[in-house]
Structure 1
């Protein structure tokens, strides 16, 4: 994998950019050659032709500037496509990740590594630009081999003044860039904070698609900002070119007054400067591209996606044998042996810190560094992928996650569940108490929801899934007693295996479960 692999799907944009750059180089050389005609007419005293050639020189440079802008426009499009392709590769890290995901590393890959990829793509276009101007510079110098000296005076005051005037516009444009970047990273951070939810419901490819779409929106906005910046950059260039035309007129005036002797020095100067500059750029860019390719190949190799496929279980009976788990400072599970029948309702109780949540995390595949054996049907959890576990095990944690999108998408995780199923889940989880069924597509913000409202959304998210085993970790704690009773009745009526952890239970509540698992 190298930079050329990232941009090979943009052949059309590259072709248009190359053609535009060739025309730009040809026009610039033609404008330089036009100086010979200017000086020749001046030396002959033909001021009319001299003026015409000076104006032609300016027109050629103006047209060349338009093609330079087209070249930059296509370059920015290729950068957009290449960066989107790279970020799609980076997202493979999401699908390959286990229960814990390093969001900082992912954002760093998007930010820092993407800058390198962007520089690499830009370098490729600098290489194209240098090659075109080098070739046409050689052609121009060969044509003007009889020129003997270089003489040119550059006009800088008008250019510097125009650049100062454009500074506020440039700062405003950079503010747009900063805002776009901040919004982009804010949106992906919001999604990545809910990684564990997408992971638990085997919807990591959906998270991948969402991040890719956010990236495309960002790159589209950045392309517009970059094009606007190029317009600002071209204005001083055009003023400088017009200033050169004025310098030519001044040179003609001085020649007419016989203050100086004119030959084809300016044309030679322009072309020799062009040649020397772009030859150096050409070879330096070749070295840079080679270095970038090594970096890109190393990065992209680590993002190759694993094939995800769920294994089949012969049953959903759970068998735990001699389970042992400890934290560095405390032992929480010791020699636990337990059988849980498929479809049964189980309540786990015990004092704080006895390992209730730890047991659920083992069953959910979030903890794997335990001793002992945990079987679901004929499969040992240590020998299967977390993707297979999440295909049959749902886990609702005490702290529910809600991301900034519609209530519907928070529930179905973009799986396009049937509308009647989503509404039924909302009714059973009492989401309809705070969100009318007609407003499921309205956006919600986590900061505007209470803990109980978030828990109800998490419950609805589980109710539209088809897990065979559902784990509830203090999932009803933030609800009032009436709501708790209503939702508990529905949970206990489900055909799936239910394993619930709760410290808010009564003796009457215990009688409604098939098995009470008391940990110490």
Structure 2
């Protein structure tokens, strides 16, 4: 994420914004400059001149105030449009990178990380010309009063600018630590709150509190550490500001006493000092903030990189495996038998709990890395192919649905398949359920309130897998919530199709077993 890309969102708006900020800053300094002569006019009792100058000051102040509000609106609109583009790129990157992504991690990237970069980097970009303009116009004003005032400002301003760089590495580390802590907190919440019902069942709410408190403490500590680092930067800037103001006022007093500058300067020089002091301080702070998210910004840039992909993806029809095993973080190793699944074969995969049935599916889908061995996917002609794992039809134990209509959940938003939906609804014994719904296939799914049963959820994903003509389908307990009679009807139609199917199941009766070509039992 960069100023160049932010600028490219709407070039005309961005140029207008920068010009308006520069001019608005100049108007604010102009008001202070005019105040010098207002004070002098009062001293000399030139009331007509005073009224003219104060009226002019009021008009310029109103114009500058309106200009600042327009600038704030434009920059917010520019940043929001830019963030929209970034979010689109991140989602596109995650969709095509073929890597497993934790939901909490993705949420953190799309929300917290982008907001952190917005506040520390993007919003600051347009502040820089504003504060630079204040320094330039205030310096010109001081130069018009007397060159010595400008010299004092330049020397102490330079000192103010370079001192805060000492804290830059600490600010970078604090920003990255905050992002990681927030990511960890969201991940912890997702993992533990998903099992809230089980925790209630066994009355172990104290364990949940303990885990969440620990994650919350880590996040709180990261927030405090970052705030402390920024406070240190602020203290350093304030000390430098005090020195600048003292020296500037001392030099001004000497000049007024010797009648080198008009009397009004003794009052307004403090305003010029404040503008320069605040602008230098803000520039130093905000430049430090920009660099504080450098590492985080590089991570976001990596997640927006375009991944080359083709729209015509191959789907496997068969596979062979050899010496496949996986190793878990606790050191446990699961070894799988060598497999030779032929095109169109219907395999029933069985085994005791913990034997690795679901793990094998995750290995085939690329969600778990191999410890040893190799997997060869083949097309319907028996040729080895490189595949996109997304083209493997997969029905997990917990069906994945979306808050949209039943029809769209089956077609996955492919309008060309709508005329086939009813046929596949019948194939999975879902037709009678649909008739009972007032909106039929247009019924919107409510994922929070679960307005459909577990069996109906499974029927939807079964219809989805079949309607998309996947050549290779993995089904993990895909009918566990469906009654035996309906399961038998579904299996007859499903296993009569041309696809290659590996089906994990238990408690099937003999008639169901007989529908499969063979059984592979894991031990």
Whether these two folds match at TM > 0.5 is yes
Relative to 1, partners in 2 of residues 1:338 and 1:30: Cα closer, same or farther, differing over 3 Å?
closer
| Superposition CA RMSD, Å | 3.9
Number of the residue aligned with 1:277: 278
Q: Distance in 1 between matches of 2:453 and 2:342?
A: 35
Q: Distance in 2 between matches of 1:310 and 1:35?
A: 67
Structure showing greater relative contact order (alpha-carbon pairs closer than 8 Å, 6 or more residues apart)? 1
Number of the residue aligned with 2:447: 445
Number of the residue aligned with 2:346: 345
CA distances 1:285-323 after superposition (whole Å, capped 9, x unpaired): 445545555652354236534323489879723334455
Query: Displacement, 1:410?
Result: 2.8
Number of the residue aligned with 1:394: 393
Query: Displacement, 1:88?
Result: 4.1
In the alignment, is the contact (CA less than 8 A) between 2:407 and 2:418 conserved in 1?
no
Relative to 1, partners in 2 of residues 1:66 and 1:347: Cα closer, same or farther, differing over 3 Å?
same
Number of the residue aligned with 1:504: 507
Query: Displacement, 1:128?
Result: 1.0
Tell me how many residue pairs correspond in the alignment.
408
Query: Displacement, 1:443?
Result: 4.5
Choose from 461, 471, 476 the match for 1:473. Answer: 476
In the alignment, is the contact (CA less than 8 A) between 2:315 and 2:471 conserved in 1?
no
Query: Displacement, 1:463?
Result: 2.3
Helix, strand or coil at the partner of 1:405 = coil
Number of the residue aligned with 1:138: 139
Q: Distance in 2 between matches of 1:397 and 1:451?
A: 13
TM-score by length of 1: 0.67
Q: Distance in 2 between matches of 1:332 and 1:268?
A: 78
Query: Displacement, 1:68?
Result: 0.8
Q: Does 1:460 align with 2:441?
A: no
Q: Distance in 2 between matches of 1:287 and 1:313?
A: 49
Helix, strand or coil at the partner of 1:508 = helix
Helix, strand or coil at the partner of 2:388 = helix
Query: Displacement, 1:476?
Result: 0.5
Number of the residue aligned with 1:9: 9
- Structure 2, unaligned stretches of length 5 or more? 150-185, 195-261
CA distances 1:217-266 after superposition (whole Å, capped 9, x unpaired): xxxxxxxxxxxxxxxxxxxxxxxxxxxxxxxxxxxxxxxxxxxx974544
Number of the residue aligned with 1:487: 490
- Structure 1, unaligned stretches of length 5 or more? 149-184, 194-260
In the alignment, is the contact (CA less than 8 A) between 2:319 and 2:342 conserved in 1?
yes
Helix, strand or coil at the partner of 2:126 = helix
Q: Distance in 2 between matches of 1:45 and 1:325?
A: 92
Number of the residue aligned with 2:370: 369
Q: Distance in 2 between matches of 1:56 and 1:147?
A: 29
In the alignment, is the contact (CA less than 8 A) between 2:402 and 2:445 conserved in 1?
no
Query: Displacement, 1:144?
Result: 4.1
Q: Distance in 2 between matches of 1:35 and 1:329?
A: 77
Instruction: Trace 1:84-99 onto structure 2 (pairs within 5 A).
Output: 84-91=84-91, 94-95=94-95, 98=98
CA distances 1:13-50 after superposition (whole Å, capped 9, x unpaired): 32121122123123223322332453454345454553
Query: Displacement, 1:354?
Result: 3.8
Relative to 1, partners in 2 of residues 1:99 and 1:501: Cα closer, same or farther, differing over 3 Å?
farther
CA distances 1:402-455 after superposition (whole Å, capped 9, x unpaired): 233333343333444432133433343344414466552634225323221221
Q: Distance in 2 between matches of 1:361 and 1:286?
A: 46
CA distances 1:147-202 after superposition (whole Å, capped 9, x unpaired): 99xxxxxxxxxxxxxxxxxxxxxxxxxxxxxxxxxxxx99xx9xxx9xxxxxxxxx
Number of the residue aligned with 1:222: none
Query: Displacement, 1:127?
Result: 1.0
In the alignment, is the contact (CA less than 8 A) between 2:93 and 2:307 conserved in 1?
no
Q: Distance in 1 between matches of 2:409 and 2:445?
A: 10
Instruction: Trace 1:106-145 onto structure 2 (pairs within 5 A).
Output: 106-118=106-118, 119-145=120-146
Number of the residue aligned with 1:411: 410
In the alignment, is the contact (CA less than 8 A) between 1:95 and 1:305 conserved in 2?
no
Relative to 1, partners in 2 of residues 1:372 and 1:52: Cα closer, same or farther, differing over 3 Å?
closer
In the alignment, is the contact (CA less than 8 A) between 1:364 and 1:394 conserved in 2?
no
CA distances 1:445-468 after superposition (whole Å, capped 9, x unpaired): 253232212212211221232210
Relative to 1, partners in 2 of residues 1:352 and 1:281: Cα closer, same or farther, differing over 3 Å?
closer
Instruction: Trace 1:257-406 onto structure 2 (pairs within 5 A).
Output: 263=264, 265-283=266-284, 285-286=286-287, 288-290=289-291, 292-293=293-294, 295-297=296-298, 299-301=300-302, 303-309=304-310, 316-324=317-325, 333-334=335-336, 336-369=337-370, 371-377=372-378, 388-391=388-391, 393-406=392-405
Q: Distance in 1 between matches of 2:96 and 2:36?
A: 64
Q: Distance in 1 between matches of 2:147 and 2:357?
A: 91
Relative to 1, partners in 2 of residues 1:79 and 1:384: Cα closer, same or farther, differing over 3 Å?
farther
